[in-house]
Amino acid sequence: MGSCSSQSCQSCFFEYETERMIVVKSKVVGSVFRLIQFLILVYVIGYVCVVQKSYQETDSVISSVTTKVKGTGFTNTSDLGARVWDVADYNIPPQGDSSFFVLTNMIVTPNQTQSTCPELPNQSTICMSDSDCLEGSNDVRGNGIQTGLCMNYKETVKTCEVLSWCPLEIDINLPERNILPDVNSSYLKQCEFNRKTDPYCPIFRLKDMVSEAEEDFQTMAIRGGVLGIMIDWSCDLDWPEHHCGPKYSFRRLDNKIPENNVAPGYNFRFAKYYKTTDGRETRTLIKAYGILFDVIVFGTAGKFNMVPTIVNLGAALTFLSLVSSVKWSHLQNTHYL
C-alpha cells in the first residue's frame, strides 16, 4: 500500500498539465471577451502606467526652507504719527526657517510703569464699593493683582484697582489702516510670482499671497492670521532636469470665524523697556497683529526601475489570463448543463 502511494506521488511530480483550448465562434462571447481585455489594457496602461506611474521607484521629499523678508511700509497714526517701517520693525523675529511673521497692525501703550490703576471693566471687575474687590485676587483674564479698592474707571463706571503695568492696554478698538497699493513694491527683486506668467518665481507680494488664498488683505491685516505657503515638489526624473520645478499654492490655516474662535487672527505682545532720569523703570507695550506664514513642502520623485515594471507587467498578464480562465469555466458549465 505504501509502495503504491510512493509511485503515485512520483508520477504526479513528473506530470505536466496544460489548459484545454477551445475556440468559440460567437459574436456575443467574443465581444464580451475582447471588451474585458480592452478594459484591462486601459486600466494597466492608462491608470497604472500613466497616472500612477507604477513603473517608477519613488521617494518622498526631504526639504529645508529658508525665508527672507524685504521692503518698507508707511503708517500715519495718532499714537505714532507718520512713520516708515523697515524689516527690523515688522519682521519678528528677524530670521525664520520654515515660517516667518509680518507685522500688519498694532496697539501701542506707551509709558507704562509698575503702579496701581483701575482694572478694565468686565463682569468680574466692575464694583460698587471696596467690599466687591478681594485683595490679592488674580483674575486669569485680568491685568494684575487686586488691591482691594474700588476706583473710578470712568464717571459712571467703577472697577477694582490692580497692581500692574499702568496705564493698562486697551485693545477693544483696533486701528484700521489704509495700505497703499505699492507698499510692497520693494519685495520685488528680479521677478514677481504670477501663476500664469511666472509660476516658478519664489518672490511674492504679501497681497498676492493672501489673494491666492481667496482672502482680502485689508481685512486680514487688521487682526492677522496664519497663511500656509504650500510647495508641491513632485518630479518625474525620467524627464530632463528643467522639467522639475515647484508648484506654489496658498491657504489660510487659522479659523477666521469669531463665533468659533476665542481669539481670531494672530497676535502677540512684546515690550520695550526704559529707565527715566530718576531711575524708575518704564516700558512701551506693543500688541502686534500680523500674518504668520508657514511654509509647507511636500512631494515625491520617481524614476524608472525594472523591479516595479516587471511586477506590474506580471500583474497585467495575470489579469488577462484570468479572463480566459473565467470564460473557459463558464463555457464548461454551459456545456454540462
- Provide the annotated binding site for ATP: 68-70, 267-269, 287
User: Which residues have C-beta within 8 Å of that of residue 266, sequence separation ≥ 6?
Assistant: 101, 223, 224, 225, 226, 254, 289, 290, 291, 292
What phi, psi does 14 have (nearest 5°)?
-95, 15
Burial class (CB in 10 A: 0-12, 13-18, 19+), 264: middle
Residue bearing cell 500715519: 76
Q: Which residues are annotated as a binding site?
A: 68-70, 267-269, 287
59/40 Cα distance (integer angstroms): 28
Q: Amino acid identity of 321?
A: S
Give the three-class secondary structure for 115.
strand
CA distances from 276 to 108, 280, 283 (A): 19, 5, 10
